[in-house]
Structure 1
């Protein structure tokens, strides 16, 4: 969330970080965390 809120100010558009597909990276991170907790619950039960 912090990256989404402040990322535009911290990362310049002309740098290599500004050229990354941040929407896809953020979505992948959210899905990864969801899969991690789903697997954790499934294995615990």
Structure 2
């Protein structure tokens, strides 16, 4: 596989991850961020 295809695939994965982070952030705002995460307060990487 060529470098260009690898780059395009990586870009798609990054866009998907950013979208999920934005959605998760909106849910946190709606919730008010009063209670800690279910993971014990750990922040995602």
* Greater helix share, structure number: 1
Long gaps (5+) in structure 2:
29-45
TM-score by length of 2: 0.53
**Runs of 4+ off more than 6 Å:** none
Long gaps (5+) in structure 1:
1-7, 9-18
Q: Over the residues paired in the alignment, what is the CA RMSD in angstroms?
A: 2.1
TM-score by length of 1: 0.53
Larger C-alpha radius of gyration, 1 or 2?
2
Higher RCO, 1 vs 2 (CA within 8 Å, ≥6 residues apart): 1
Aligned residues: 28
